[in-house]
């Protein structure tokens, strides 16, 4: 089976690719290498791996790249609230127009596994199920919700609405909430937290990758549907996460009474639908924090334009 991964040089893709190769799939990656390609080096000697440098908004390139592919795992996006706020026009064209381009070059038999997000829900008082009305508060959530709906209406699609990712990947991200808090605890010795009661649900990056494998194995049951992907056992408040990190690092936690988290997501999610098919997460938040602490102690972070 041939699988194309858009945005495969990123946080989830570089965790997913070795799993796909290990199962014998032929894997192609399309990525513009915005964050470099070092995370792909270990795959280049594999005869079943192909890399295509390109932009998903390029229809001609995408038409050629998707030929003879059985499955497209669509990860390419400007990901996260801060990145989309920084470059809103880029976020719109990549997340929305790029998905439209992908949709237009596929046949009806080619399956899209779309990497969606719980950010689509925004701020919700009730427990979010796949039937909950979407209320994305950020540009990121708005663009992802649009692309999800577009693909579901026009292609053979399984959409996976992931909880907030965390954990170590070959292409490490420090802008994710747990990863960011762990980094600040180790480098600053303290964390400042606004609106500690806000709820968020989390998933380790390895379990995100496993969800795509699960979808490939269960296409007939899952096609043309949306699934929340995570675990009720990892619905936590921001305060809960900080206490865990503080206990493990000794960092001081300051809960700010004045101020506001610019990302106003606040929701609790149900994962009963995908659990009913047999998918469960395997790595806890506590295990992920331990992993991050070990990793961040050996990673060297350099700021080239400062003397300190």
Q: Look up tokens 């699988």; give the residue.
A: 3
pLDDT at 81 over 90: no
Q: Distance between CA atoms of 87 and 94, rounded to whole angstroms? A: 11
Q: Look up tokens 């499955």; give the residue.
A: 71
Q: What is the mean pLDDT of residues 298-308?
A: 67
Most confident of 119-128, 133-142, 256-265: 133-142
Nearest CA to 173 among 75, 80, 264, 238? 80
**Which 8-state DSSP code applies to residue 94?**
I
Angle of helix 177-187 relative to helix 238-249, nearest 10 degrees, comes to 30
Q: What is the mean pLDDT of residues 168-173?
A: 95
pLDDT at 132 over 60: yes
Give me the chain's average pLDDT, please.
93
**Which 8-state DSSP code applies to residue 75?**
-
Domain at 2-165+202-230+269-282, CATH homologous superfamily: NAD(P)-binding Rossmann-like Domain (3.40.50.720)
pLDDT at 300 over 90: no
Q: Distance between CA atoms of 107 and 149, rounded to whole angstroms? A: 18
**Residue 136 Cα distances to 107, 122, 262, angstroms:** 30, 4, 14
The torsion defined by the Cα of 101, 103, 106 and 111, in degrees rounded to 10, comes to 140
27-38 pLDDT, tens per residue? Answer: 999 999 998 999
Q: Distance between CA atoms of 138 and 210, rounded to whole angstroms? A: 27
The 3-state DSSP class for residue 115 equals strand
pLDDT at 127 over 90: no
Q: Distance between CA atoms of 74 and 56, rounded to whole angstroms? A: 10
Nearest CA to 181 among 202, 208, 209? 202
275-288 pLDDT, tens per residue? Answer: 999 999 999 999 99
Q: Distance between CA atoms of 40 and 199, rounded to whole angstroms? A: 34
Q: What are 12's two structure tokens? A: 């989830």
Judge contact between 208 and 162, C-beta under 8 A. Answer: yes
Which residue(s) pair with 112 in the sheet? 72, 157
pLDDT at 262 over 70: no
pLDDT recorded at residue 123: 74
């Amino acid at each position: 089976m041939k699988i194309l991964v858009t945005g495969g040089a990123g946080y989830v893709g570089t965790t997913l690719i070795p799993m796909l190769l290990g199962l014998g799939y032929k894997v192609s990656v399309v990525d513009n290498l915005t964050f470099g390609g070092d995370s792909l080096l270990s795959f280049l000697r594999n005869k079943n791996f192909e890399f295509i440098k390109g932009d998903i908004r390029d229809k001609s390139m995408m038409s050629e790249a998707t030929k003879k592919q059985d499955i497209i795992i669509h990860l390419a996006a400007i990901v996260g609230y801060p990145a989309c706020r920084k470059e809103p026009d880029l976020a719109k064209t990549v997340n929305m127009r790029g998905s439209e381009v992908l949709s237009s070059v596929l046949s009806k038999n080619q399956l899209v596994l779309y990497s969606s997000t719980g950010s689509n829900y925004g701020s919700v008082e009730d427990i979010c199920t796949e039937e909950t009305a979407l209320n994305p508060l950020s540009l990121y959530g708005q663009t992802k919700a649009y692309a999800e709906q577009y693909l579901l209406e026009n292609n053979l699609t399984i959409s996976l609405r992931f909880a907030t990712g965390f954990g170590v990947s070959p292409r490490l991200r420090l802008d994710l909430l747990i990863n960011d808090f762990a980094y600040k605890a180790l480098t600053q010795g303290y964390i400042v937290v606004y609106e500690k009661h806000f709820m968020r649900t989390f998933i380790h990056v390895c379990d995100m990758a496993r969800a795509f494998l699960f979808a490939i194995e269960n296409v007939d049951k899952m096609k043309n549907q949306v699934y929340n992907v995570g675990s009720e056992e990892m619905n936590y408040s921001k305060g809960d996460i900080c206490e865990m990190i503080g206990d493990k690092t000794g960092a001081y936690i300051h809960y700010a009474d004045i101020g506001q988290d610019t990302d106003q997501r606040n929701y609790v999610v149900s994962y009963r639908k995908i659990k009913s098919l047999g998918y469960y997460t395997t790595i806890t938040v506590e295990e992920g924090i331990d992993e991050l602490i070990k990793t961040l102690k050996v990673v060297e972070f350099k700021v080239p334009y400062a003397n300190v």
